[in-house]
Amino acid sequence: MNKIIINGSGSYLAKKFILSNKNKYEFIALTTSQRVLNFYKKEKISSYKINKDVNRSSKILSKIKGNTLINFAASTDTNLNEKSIEKNINVNILYNSLIVFYLSKNNNKLIFLNLLSFYQYNLIKEKNFEPNSFYASSKQSLQNILYF
């Protein structure tokens, strides 16, 4: 059975996705919340509590094996101020890049799916990526980093 690692497993979409597919796939839920961890343990779904400082969870992440990583984790703050810019960079780029880095140490062929949102694109223009917000740029930046 395919093992799918879900980052940001506390989000509404992640929970719906996992619960509606738990008989088809084996899931590994990653969360920073004890409440979410308890929820998945109750549902008998493998789960790990990850520290918000991902480096402190590097040993745990390096041992997790899976075929696919689906990223539901994001800071969706579309305000343009110092606090939201810092949060978007820390969550959407740094946190998620480190999750991929540590998981890839033990998963030679890890397929990564970064869920995007309609905020990312100017829907009027169809040719080139033109971010609508700093949030959109930070989400796209993670995609670009992963090409490296």
Encode pLDDT of 10-30 as tens digits.
999 999 999 999 999 999 999
Could you tell me the pTM of the whole model? 0.84
| Cα separation values, 61 from 66, 109, 117, Å | 11, 15, 26
Using the predicted structure, report yes or no on whether residue 117 has a pLDDT greater than 70.
no
Please report, as a single letter, which amino acid is at residue 87.
K
12 CB contacts (<8 Å, ≥6 apart)? none
**pLDDT tens string 78-98:** 778 888 888 888 888 899 899
Contacting residues for 85 by C-beta, under 8 A, at least 6 apart: 134
